[in-house]
Structure 1
Amino acid sequence: MNLKTISRRTILRGMGVTIGLPMLQSMMPGRLLTAAEADKDAPLRMAFFYVPNGAHMPDWTPKGDGTGYNMSASLQHIAEYRDQFNVLSGLTLDGARAHGDGGGDHARSVAAFLTGAHPHKTNGADIRNGISVDQATAQAVGDRTRFASLELGLESSAQAGNCDSGYSCAYASNMSWRGPTSPMAKEVDPGALFDRLFAGQTEKQTRRAKTAREKSKKSILDFALDDAKRLHQQLPAMDKRKLDEYLYAVRDVEKRISGADHLRIGEDGVPDYPRPSGVPADLSTHSQLMMDMIRLAMQTDSTRILSFMFTNAGSNRNYKQIGVNEGHHELSHHGKSEHKQAQIAKINRYHLDRFAYLLKQLSSVREGERTLLENSLIVYGSGISDGDRHNHDNLPIILAGSGAGRIKTGRHIRYENGTPLCNLYLWMMQQMGAKADQFGDSNGVVTI
């Protein structure tokens, strides 16, 4: 059966709105492909998720190695996806160590997490770090997508101020660095991210489209409806279903961003409420919306590279929603207190619950025989191991996704303690197609 081939970069347009599409059968050249053949055309994605203040390592570290390891209490919260990730022990972030600079481990751990560099200690304008792995990769292959990379989080970035023992807030609140003096600020507003992805490719177009939607009270999809209908008529049945499912997901996220699920709906199906801006006050709602946006960004191939910070370095946020009333940073200095260690374990599990939601979303998207999750390499972890000791060896690291079949998942891999974390990053860069034989303090590549 011959098919009309459409471009992988096809987008739906309408009044300043641009909506990327998921990978469809019709984007394959000329004929219906088998799922195995379609797999070869699926892009590989790279992502990095950072949690602050280390982990309660006795609650985190699995017992045993390989596929037969015993999952720890913390990791039980992502146990449903056990066969979709590897737990990596022994990796080390030497750049986060003091090296004579005294205190400031929290700021250093974030600044070094993706760079492997030792940041210059200053709270002034003379910041100096290294380029981060996401940006180094984006400079090599980022031109293949609308956005070379996305930098996201739940707490805003700062570019100045003293945040940790003489270290600039630029270090404490940014883990993505375009160059030694150029931190990449995070987007924390899910509505602004939605507009950036779907409401136009320029800031002017985005503002115009947003204003038009607010005045008309229409969904972003309504502006591109004619284009969507024309495309729908050209597609085979399997692609029509996939397109319908995707457009439903976009509208669902848009409704939840605007709070439309809790509002009075008019006879025309449009919420009788202006689209609000700002960050949701509830952390769980905020994180879930951001995870949904990550799925859509990756599903539409809007970007293949992204970073995400749950909170900034040394965050002292409490987690009353799970019964933790004390601040996270204060608890991390537990001094072997059983109570504080139990509370830290609760926070670790909460973050993993948020991550599990993302894994669920990515594993629900099919791309040939594999899923969006399987076609990814996703690092989750921290630049500090035990928050009380402020050590930067034997870090709590997870690598989710099989890299489009490049690695075997479902294992606990124990590297020699002191193995540079950048050895993992160098391997990932090479899988993404970036030509590199050195990154940060790497001294080789990991065996996975």
Structure 2
Amino acid sequence: MSHSSSINRRSLIKAAGLGALLPMFESSAYAKSLKPPKRVIFIGYGYGHYDQGWFPNNVSQKWHCNSQEKVKKLELSSSLQALAQYKNDVSLISNLSPIHARWPHAGCDTFLTCANPDSNPLRPFTNTVSVDQVIAKEVGKYTRISSMQINGRTGNYDGWGRGASMSCNESGEFLNGLNTLGDIYRRSFGDPELTVSERRKQLSKHRSLLVLSNGGTKSLAKVISKEDKERLSQFTDSLRSIEKRIQKDMAWADKPYPKTNFQIPSGSLNEEEKIKTCFDLITEIFRTDLTRVISYRMSSIGLLQQMGHQQNTHAMSHWAKNSQDLQCQIDRDKKLAELLAYLIRQLKNTKEIDGSSLLDNTLIFFGTGIRVHHVVKNIPMIMAGGGGIGMKQGKHYSFKENVTPLGNLWLSTIKHFGIDAQQFGDSNNELHNIFKAV
């Protein structure tokens, strides 16, 4: 059965008012004919890892064979022990590099784009479309929200540098992210205080303000310098992205938001509780099929403070042997593994209509644009989930160091979603073995 026919059948059931009955059909042949959609979440964080704790002990730092790829059974390192229960649901991918990154943190700026920041001489920094937005352009047609961008914190935190999220539109401009649990909830499940009419009025007001903002740009472009035209172009590109979102929101305004029993915990939350609640929200968002593409720029600063460390994440990343900074880095790494295990558990315990789990049909990419200290080559990536095709996890894929583009992974991911693409960012090949089904 084709992907589109699955979508249409599901839509017909919901349109007939039978959506609430779907869980009752989990064991029936009819339910099994409804193939759940593929989903993906990209989770990024800053400042790398302590190599000897994050990578398995049997991994040589040097390449000693002619092959471009080595595949081994995954052996969990000391920092990844929290994933032991889910060892068959995760794989480690090592030695992928943002080839064009020229300075510390540029690997984070281009983590999902793999762009060449120096490609346009009129701009001090140039980016291109991010992998999540390429996927969202196709699969977002079927969902209320084309894609969702989430930030752990606003501002230049955790070494991420530019942008309000990890995601970039087709012009390479960073998309705005959702910064609080309340923002994520309202974007997903609406404001219960607003009627449909009030929601439409609010969207119309936003669209009017957008038109006013864009009104004078054409005349202004005739009298400014080339450099300022580039800046103006960035501004108008951002406006177009917002306009597209408003147009889609208007098209869905009369359709009710999905029902949910999820409630954001009251009271103040520490950083770990905020991240876990965000993962709970993401699970509910995927369960209700609000979107199938999410990027999450996760913060670590609060985690350090919560664990009793006085350093900020930048000081942590400059650790020396046998130092407090190194212990801080190790503790942070272990906490990241624990949080990933929590997300895996939530997705694994949430059932789809055909009896599979959300994890079976979701890909999780969990990584950083920096390997260690401020080194932007040979970064680590953890991949989890079944991706909708029963991918065989529990592997360690190690590629030729310094020369294997990170873009190869994103190109392969794009094609995994059935999108015809020949290249992405710095890619020069596909990673065929990773996306083989069991």
TM-score by length of 2: 0.72
Question: How does 1:235-384 map onto structure 2 within 5 Å?
Answer: 250-251=260-261, 253-254=262-263, 256-259=264-267, 280=268, 282-311=270-299, 319-367=304-352, 368-384=354-370
Query: Partner of 2:100: helix, strand, or coil?
Result: helix
Of 189, 205, 212, which aligns to 2:180?
A: 189
The CA deviation string for residues 6-52 of structure 1, in whole angstroms up to 9 with x for no partner, is 63683899xxxxxx969936799xx93277x44x6110001100011
Of 117, 127, 130, which aligns to 2:128?
A: 130
The CA deviation string for residues 408-427 of structure 1, in whole angstroms up to 9 with x for no partner, is 11111112223111111111
User: Does the Cα contact within 8 Å between 2:270 and 2:302 map onto a contact in 1?
Assistant: no
Aligned to 1:224: none
Cα 1:206–1:372 change in 2 (3 A) is: farther
User: Does the Cα contact within 8 Å between 1:129 and 1:179 map onto a contact in 2?
Assistant: no
Of 385, 408, 421, which aligns to 2:371?
A: 385
Cα 1:407–1:335 change in 2 (3 A) is: same
Query: Partner of 1:94: helix, strand, or coil?
Result: coil
Of 119, 139, 142, which aligns to 1:141?
A: 139
Structure 1's unaligned 5+ residue stretches are 14-19, 99-104, 210-226, 229-245, 260-279
Q: Point out the structure with the larger strand share.
A: 1
Matched residue type, 1:188: N
The CA deviation string for residues 129-161 of structure 1, in whole angstroms up to 9 with x for no partner, is 111000111123311111110001211257xxx
Of 408, 416, 425, which aligns to 2:392?
A: 408
Given the alignment of the two structures, is residue 91 of structure 1 paired with residue 83 of structure 2, yes or no? no
User: Does the Cα contact within 8 Å between 2:270 and 2:306 map onto a contact in 1?
Assistant: no
Aligned to 2:80: 75
Alpha-carbon shift at residue 402 of structure 1 (Å): 1.8
Alignment partners' CA distance in 1, 2:343 and 2:397? 23
User: Does the Cα contact within 8 Å between 1:155 and 1:188 map onto a contact in 2?
Assistant: yes
User: Does the Cα contact within 8 Å between 1:109 and 1:383 map onto a contact in 2?
Assistant: yes
Aligned to 2:190: 199
Given the alignment of the two structures, is residue 152 of structure 1 paired with residue 179 of structure 2, yes or no? no
RMSD over equivalenced CA pairs, Å: 3.7
Identity of aligned residues (%): 27
Aligned to 1:275: none
Query: Partner of 1:139: helix, strand, or coil?
Result: helix
Alpha-carbon shift at residue 77 of structure 1 (Å): 1.5
Matched residue type, 1:74: S
Aligned to 2:162: 170
User: Does the Cα contact within 8 Å between 2:148 and 2:291 map onto a contact in 1?
Assistant: yes
Matched residue type, 1:371: S
Alignment partners' CA distance in 1, 2:306 and 2:19? 36
Query: Partner of 1:48: helix, strand, or coil?
Result: strand
Alpha-carbon shift at residue 204 of structure 1 (Å): 7.9
Cα 1:292–1:23 change in 2 (3 A) is: farther
Alignment partners' CA distance in 2, 1:378 and 1:149? 15
Alignment partners' CA distance in 2, 1:11 and 1:339? 58
Given the alignment of the two structures, is residue 46 of structure 1 paired with residue 78 of structure 2, yes or no? no
Query: Partner of 1:380: helix, strand, or coil?
Result: strand
Structure 2's unaligned 5+ residue stretches are 1-8, 59-69, 201-255
Alignment partners' CA distance in 2, 1:343 and 1:87? 23
Matched residue type, 2:406: L
The CA deviation string for residues 153-189 of structure 1, in whole angstroms up to 9 with x for no partner, is 211257xxx998xxx9534x53100133421111021
User: Does the Cα contact within 8 Å between 1:195 and 1:206 map onto a contact in 2?
Assistant: no
Of 58, 63, 68, which aligns to 2:52?
A: 58
Alignment partners' CA distance in 2, 1:68 and 1:199? 45
Given the alignment of the two structures, is residue 32 of structure 1 paired with residue 34 of structure 2, yes or no? no
The CA deviation string for residues 240-278 of structure 1, in whole angstroms up to 9 with x for no partner, is xxxxxx96xx32x31x3445xxxxxxxxxxxxxxxxxxx
User: Does the Cα contact within 8 Å between 1:7 and 1:27 map onto a contact in 2?
Assistant: no
User: Does the Cα contact within 8 Å between 1:190 and 1:257 map onto a contact in 2?
Assistant: no
Alignment partners' CA distance in 2, 1:117 and 1:391? 17
User: Does the Cα contact within 8 Å between 2:272 and 2:303 map onto a contact in 1?
Assistant: no
Alignment partners' CA distance in 2, 1:203 and 1:121? 46
Alignment partners' CA distance in 1, 2:141 and 2:281? 21
User: Does the Cα contact within 8 Å between 1:318 and 1:325 map onto a contact in 2?
Assistant: no
Deviates more, 1:361-370 or 1:288-297: 361-370
Query: Partner of 1:404: helix, strand, or coil?
Result: coil
Cα 1:304–1:22 change in 2 (3 A) is: farther
Matched residue type, 2:383: L
Cα 1:109–1:87 change in 2 (3 A) is: same
Alpha-carbon shift at residue 56 of structure 1 (Å): 0.9
Alignment partners' CA distance in 2, 1:51 and 1:187? 16
Matched residue type, 1:184: L
User: Does the Cα contact within 8 Å between 2:146 and 2:292 map onto a contact in 1?
Assistant: yes
User: Does the Cα contact within 8 Å between 2:109 and 2:166 map onto a contact in 1?
Assistant: yes
The CA deviation string for residues 171-225 of structure 1, in whole angstroms up to 9 with x for no partner, is 4x5310013342111102111211221126999859769xxxxxxxxxxxxxxxx
User: Does the Cα contact within 8 Å between 1:380 and 1:397 map onto a contact in 2?
Assistant: yes
